[in-house]
Amino acid sequence: MKSSDRWSKNSFPHQKNILQYFPLAPESSYLWLQFIGKTIWQPGAMVYHPRTVYLDVEIVDEGEMFVQYGGEKFYIPAGAAVLIPPGESKLSAGNKMRCRKRFLGITGPILANNMVSLNLNKVTVLREFHNEEFEELYTELYSLFEAKESRNLRNCCALIYKLLLLLSQCAGQQAYPPELQRAINFINTNLSRQIDLGDICRAAECGKTKLQWLFKHRLGTTPVRFLISGRIRYAVKLLENTDYSIKEIADRCGYADPLYFSNTFLKYYGLSPRAYRKSLYPAAEKP
C-alpha cells in the first residue's frame, strides 16, 4: 500500500537508515516491529502521519524535536524520548539545528488490545531518558533486523515484548496530571516568548496555587524557575551549535535585555554566555 505520509520539501537531504523485516510466521502476528532505524533531520524537517497503527518511539540524541498530536504540541529535547500512540501525528525538527534521532514502531494485537493498561494511550515524553536496558534491547533488535534470519524470530519477539513492558513501566512513572503536562508543554514550546506565570496558568487551565503545588511536589521547582531553566538550557544549545551573537541568543531565549540574560546565565553556569562559548574552543584547540 502506498504511504500517505507527507514530508516537507526541506526534509531531504538527510541521513536515513530504516530497517524493516516482515517474516510470515506465527510469532510475528502477536507483537512485532513495524520498523527500527536511525536518521538525521535537517532544521525544519517535518513529516505528517495521517494515521498510524503502531506505537512510535522516538529517541532524540542531538538537537530537538516537536510532536503534534491530538491538538497538543510536545517538545522533545536532546536526551529525551517520546512515546506516540497510534493515530494522527506530525513530527518536526527544530528550526535552528539538526536533529539526530533513533526510532522504532511497535505493532500487533498485544499492543492494540492493551494500550490503556500499558499506559501507552497518550503521548508521553520521557525526559533524561538514559536507560541502559533500553539501549541493550535497541542495539540487539537493530542487529537482528539487520541480519533478517528466520532462526532469530522467537528471540526477536521475546525482546520486543520485553521492550514493550519496559516502555510501559517508564510511561507509568512519567505520567503527570494533565494540568502539569499542559504547563510543561506550553513552557517548552514558548521559550522565546515573553510569558509569565499568568500565561502558564491559562495554558494549563489551572489556578496559580494549585500549579505551584504541582510543580513543587512533582518536579521540585516552581513554574517560573522551570521556565528560566528551560531558557538557559536552550541558550546552551545555541551557544554550542550556532554562531549567533549573545544579543540574538538572548532574544531567541525570551530575554529582551542581553545584560539581564547574561547575569541569569552566570547564576546557573558560573560563567557568562561569552565565557561559556569561549570555554568550548580553547585557543590551543582552534584550527
Interval 83-132: pLDDT, tens: 999 999 999 998 888 899 999 999 988 888 888 888 898 899 998 888 89
CB of 142 within 8 A of CB of 19? yes
Rounded to two decimals, the pTM is 0.71
CATH code of domain 178-285: 1.10.10.60
The distance from CA 26 to its chain's CA centroid, rounded to whole angstroms, is: 33
CA distance 114 to 120: 8
Say if domain 6-174 classifies as CATH 3.30.60.50.
no
Report the percent of the chain where pLDDT is more than 90.
Answer: 57
Location of C-alpha cell 522467537: 154
Q: Provide the b/e sequence for 270-285 (b: ≥16 CB within 10 Å).
A: eeebeebbeeeeeeee
pLDDT tens string 124-175: 999 888 889 999 999 999 999 999 988 888 889 889 999 999 999 888 877 7
Number of Cβ within a 10 Å radius of residue 115: 15
- Specify the pLDDT at position 94: 87
Cell output for 119: 499506559
Q: 145 with 21: CB under 8 angstroms?
A: yes
Span 247-268, average pLDDT: 94
Query: In the chain, which residue ranges form alpha helices assigned H by DSSP?
Result: 109-112, 132-147, 153-174, 178-188, 197-204, 208-214, 223-241, 246-252, 258-269, 273-280
Give the residue with greater pLDDT, 220 vs 123.
123
pLDDT score recorded for residue 178: 87
Sign for the CA dihedral angle at 108, 109, 114, 115 comes to positive
CATH 1.10.10.60 positions along the chain are: 178-285
pLDDT band at residue 26 under the 50/70/90 scheme: low
CATH 2.60.120.280 boundaries in the chain: 6-174
Alpha-carbon Rg for the chain in angstroms = 21
